Amino acid sequence: KILEVDLKNGYGFVEFDDLRDADDAVYELNGKDLCGERVIVEHARGPRRDGSYGSGRSGYGYRRSGR
């Protein structure tokens, strides 16, 4: 289940309710072409925006690879 999507200029974050869904997204999407751009998909680092680390939720970020 996706909880939140936050898109920025050239990158974005997707927050999932379950770590396994985030793991699947990283595995299935990293290095793939999306809308004609190759994307890098990886787990987000650091605390969430609300300052917590261990809420049981997980997310991933993506950015264009710049090829």
Per residue in 3-34, pLDDT tens?
888 888 888 888 888 889 989 999 999 999 98
- Whole-model pTM above 0.75? no
- The answer to whether residue 36 scores a pLDDT higher than 60 is yes
Rounded to whole angstroms, how far apart are CA atoms 8 and 14? 11
55 pLDDT band, cuts 50/70/90, is: very low
Predicted local confidence at residue 11, as pLDDT: 82
Which residue has tokens 């936050």?
6
Widest Cα–Cα separation across the chain:
35
